[in-house]
């Protein structure tokens, strides 16, 4: 069955899109977009899929320790150094020896998945390995530094961690990682990976598959077939494989026969600022749990200097005794002295509200409502916000009440347009006799990529805005893996690129050929778009870096100075050798392109970085300058 319908986003617009929907089965919808000037004779060629090619993704695994890598010593579990990678090599599901012909000792590769994609992962092991009960804020900072140092070299990151404090680390990293554009996934296990009945294999494999296949710009926690937002989880069971729960937010993804991403829940990057890690944290924070009969002396002692931030765990919906003026007075004295106190409920589910008089008395005492934040998220958020020395106390208090990384739920006045309110979707749904919410969402997601890519091709921001208001995800890929940002970068539409970046488009999306939007902008030589993408910290993937030398040498041989300039602008290493081992400057000199050789000589400067096993170590990390966290604009 073929259905033709015309969509005109605005009455004042002369352009319209004719959408051809070919229903192959009850579950498959392929769409193509025809603009007014489209050549119908080429439709068959445009819808024809090319043969699939193998692509690779690179993931850095940071092994901090935890049960997943522990072994029995004197009948107790303890970390065993330098044994984890060797154990993984013996597991065919986690390492394909036939593909990994060469490489460093700590680099492994997963078997080919059904999408013809290889995930290559490098393991960085900490020394000493840590039990998560021994973790401190310094360890959080070290993890953040290692991610930042290796950010450009990998498509995603997996952090192996003990389960006891994993929720704290996940929450802390979610705030520390500013302007994040790649997935960071914490995982571990309840049973060591060396034992027969282990959950470690499934947890590690699932985390690697998601980190290598999906651009989810969040710090997440993966456990027992579910991907959670990192600052929404808490450990709820120490004897079950289903150890974690996200009480107030549905999982970001579920892994069953297929991995299903709930894209409507995933946060989208809406900034063009560069990724950075704020490693400075304030440790003068604490958790104070109310209980019947708590003494004033206990509260007073807890709130004494150097305490600067407190998570107050209250009853029910944020209640405290309103017949204890002595207790409330101590809280008021502390807030007047500059201590930030956050009200979080002791209940696993629900939120803090001021429906009761026993809750309002805390507001009067200067306590800030924590909404549905977990205690782990509230504590780590205090560590992060209080460390921003350039901010005033009032600004810090406002930030604690704001949703910075999806850690709390807010009521929005201007909610997203419902699918059933979209006339365009209604027409399609009626023609296909569809009415349920899930099928409506499937139609929307099937139509979004071709429509959004068509709008991006002509730089039509109004059409992109209409799609966004319809609830569409502008990061969705077409059948070739291309996003609207790819198309806008190819066509040189700077305003469309800027719009997409400010509404959640990711610069790290790869099409089936491994090209990112930056690759497209370089190929078509759109300097302004290259500059904008670089401001967002776009960079070349490992696949492109391996082919870079050949491209640079070819440009040098032909005297293409403009091409070399735009590669340099995009952050390419112009000293990358080609197949023959010669660099671009050597090729330019050999063929007599002296202007190119002179330009390269002036541009190139020596850089010294220590690379170990495919990742950068941070022993000499510089906390000064741009590497440190920024102010409020950087949050």
Which residue is catalytic, options 67, 198, 335, 374?
A: 67
Residue 69 is given by DSSP the state: G
Q: Which residues of 560-587 are buried (b: 16+ CB within 10 A; e: fewer)?
A: bbebbebbbebbbebbbbbeeebbbbbb
User: Rounded to an integer, what distance in angstroms lies between the CA atom of residue 611 and that of residue 48?
Assistant: 43
- The closest alpha carbon to 63, from 193, 254, 231, belongs to 193
Determine whether 624 is exposed, middle or buried from the number of CB atoms within 10 Å of its CB (0-12, 13-18, 19+): exposed
- Judge contact between 449 and 456, C-beta under 8 A: no
Q: How far is CA 533 from CA 23, 273, 367, 540, 635, in A?
A: 37, 10, 42, 11, 19
Whether 234 is catalytic is: no
Q: Find all residues with CB under 8 Å of 531, minimum gap 6, and list them.
A: 569
User: Rounded to an integer, what distance in angstroms lies between the CA atom of residue 390 and that of residue 396?
Assistant: 10
Residues flagged as binding site for substrate: 132, 163-164
Which residue is catalytic, options 107, 122, 137, 163?
A: 163
Which residues are registered as beta bridge partners of 25? 28
Whether 358 is catalytic is: no
Q: How far is CA 166 from CA 163, 187, 198, 251, in A?
A: 5, 8, 18, 17
User: Rounded to an integer, what distance in angstroms lies between the CA atom of residue 508 and that of residue 539?
Assistant: 8
- Judge contact between 62 and 126, C-beta under 8 A: yes
User: Rounded to an integer, what distance in angstroms lies between the CA atom of residue 365 and that of residue 323?
Assistant: 14
Q: Would strands 117-130 and 55-65 be described as parallel, antiparallel, or unpaired?
A: parallel
Active site residues: 67, 163
């Amino acid at each position: 069955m073929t259905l033709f319908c015309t969509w005109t986003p605005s009455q004042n617009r002369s352009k319209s899109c004719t959408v051809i929907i070919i229903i192959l089965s009850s579950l498959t919808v392929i769409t193509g977009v025809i603009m007014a000037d489209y050549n119908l004779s080429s439709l068959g060629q445009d819808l024809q899929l090319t043969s699939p090619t193998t692509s690779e993704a690179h993931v850095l695994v940071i092994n901090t320790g935890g049960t997943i890598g522990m072994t029995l010593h004197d009948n107790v579990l303890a970390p065993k150094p330098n044994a984890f990678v060797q154990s993984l090599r013996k597991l065919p599901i986690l390492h394909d020896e036939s593909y990994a012909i060469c490489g460093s000792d700590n680099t492994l590769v997963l078997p080919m998945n059904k999408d013809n994609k290889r995930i290559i992962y490098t393991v960085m092991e900490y020394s000493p390995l840590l039990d998560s009960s021994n973790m401190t804020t310094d360890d959080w900072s070290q993890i953040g530094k290692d991610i930042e140092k290796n950010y450009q070299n990998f498509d995603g990151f997996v952090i192996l961690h003990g389960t006891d404090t994993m929720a704290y680390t996940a929450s802390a990293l979610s705030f520390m990682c500013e302007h994040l554009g790649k997935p960071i996934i914490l995982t571990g296990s309840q049973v060591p990976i060396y034992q027969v009945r282990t959950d470690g294999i499934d947890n590690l494999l699932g985390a690697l598959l998601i980190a290598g296949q999906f651009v989810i710009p969040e710090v997440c926690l993966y456990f027992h077939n579910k991907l959670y937002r990192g600052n929404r989880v808490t450990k709820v069971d120490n004897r079950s494989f289903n150890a974690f729960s996200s009480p107030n937010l549905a999982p970001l993804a579920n892994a069953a026969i297929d991995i299903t991403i709930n894209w409507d829940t995933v946060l989208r990057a809406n900034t063009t600022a560069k990724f950075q890690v704020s490693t400075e944290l304030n440790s003068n924070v604490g958790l104070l749990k109310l209980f019947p009969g708590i003494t004033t002396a206990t509260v007073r002692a807890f709130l004494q200097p150097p305490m600067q931030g407190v998570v107050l765990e209250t009853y029910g919906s944020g209640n405290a005794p309103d017949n204890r003026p002595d207790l409330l007075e101590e809280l008021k004295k502390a807030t007047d002295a500059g201590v930030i106190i956050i009200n979080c409920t002791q209940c696993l589910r629900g939120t803090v509200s001021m429906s009761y008089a026993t809750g309002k008395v805390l507001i009067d005492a200067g306590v800030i409502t924590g909404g549905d934040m977990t205690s782990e998220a509230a504590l780590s958020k205090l560590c992060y916000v209080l460390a921003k020395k350039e901010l005033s106390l009032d600004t810090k208090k406002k930030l604690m009440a704001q949703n910075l990384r999806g850690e709390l739920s807010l009521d929005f006045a201007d909610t997203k347009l419902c699918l059933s309110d979209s006339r365009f979707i209604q027409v399609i749904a009626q023609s296909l006799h569809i009415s349920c919410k899930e099928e409506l969402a499937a139609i929307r997601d099937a139509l979004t990529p071709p429509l959004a890519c068509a709008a991006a091709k002509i730089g039509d921001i109004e059409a992109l805005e209409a799609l966004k208001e319809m609830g569409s995800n502008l990061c969705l890929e077409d059948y070739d893996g291309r996003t609207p940002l790819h198309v806008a970068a190819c066509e040189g539409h700077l305003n469309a690129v800027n719009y997409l970046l400010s509404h959640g488009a990711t610069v790290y999306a790869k099409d089936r050929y491994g090209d990112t939007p930056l690759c497209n902008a370089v190929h078509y030589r759109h300097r302004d778009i290259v500059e904008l993408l670089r401001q967002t910290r776009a960079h070349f993937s490992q696949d492109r870096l391996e082919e870079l030398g050949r491209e640079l040498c070819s440009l040098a041989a032909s005297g293409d100075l403009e091409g070399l300039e735009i590669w340099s602008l995009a952050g390419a290493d112009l000293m990358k050798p080609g197949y023959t081992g010669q660099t671009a400057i050597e090729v330019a000199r050999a063929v007599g392109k002296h202007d190119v050789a002179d330009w390269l000589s002036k541009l190139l400067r020596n850089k010294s970085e220590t690379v170990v096993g495919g990742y950068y170590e941070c022993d000499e990390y510089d906390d000064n300058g741009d590497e440190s966290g920024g102010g409020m604009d950087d949050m």
